[in-house]
């Protein structure tokens, strides 16, 4: 409960910081170029999960065949539940 509240406070803090940044962002962000960047970002976001899932699968196979894992592979391992949830995290 306390943890959830502190997480929410942290998010609110960042949102406020970001809104301040948005106010002082003074350059012209373009229109078409900004939309195109957003579209590409969505695709690259999907690649992120594909890459993570691939790493996780490789990690599982390594475990099955008894090969030692590199530290980076351990970091890359994420529960499948989180992978599913993250697909809808673009607000």
Closest among 33, 51, 56, 41 to 89, alpha carbons compared: 41
Rg (CA), the chain: 19
Binding-residue pattern over the window 25 to 64 for other proteins, x denoting contact by CB under 8 A: xxxxxxxxxxxxxx-xx--xx-xx--x-------------
If one asks whether residue 1 binds other proteins (CB under 8 A), the answer comes out as no
Nearer to other proteins among residue 66 and residue 91 (C-beta): 91
Among 66, 71, 79, 91, binds other proteins (CB under 8 A): 91
CB of 60 to other proteins, least distance (A): 20
Which H or E run contains 4? Answer: helix 2-24
For residues 42 and 89, what is the distance between their CA atoms, to the nearest angstrom? 11
Tokens 């390594």, residue located? 62
Which residue ranges make up the site for other proteins (CB under 8 A)? 14-15, 17-18, 21-22, 24-38, 40-41, 44-45, 47-48, 51, 86, 89-91
């Amino acid at each position: 409960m306390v943890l959830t509240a502190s997480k929410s406070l942290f998010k609110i803090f960042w949102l406020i910081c970001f809104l301040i940044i948005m106010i002082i962002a003074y350059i012209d962000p373009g229109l078409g170029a900004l939309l195109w960047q957003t579209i590409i970002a969505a695709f690259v976001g999907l690649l992120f999960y594909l890459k993570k899932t691939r790493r996780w699968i490789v990690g599982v196979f390594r475990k099955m065949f008894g090969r030692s894992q590199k530290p980076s592979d351990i970091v890359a391992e994420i529960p499948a539940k989180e992978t599913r949830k993250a697909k809808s995290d673009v607000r």
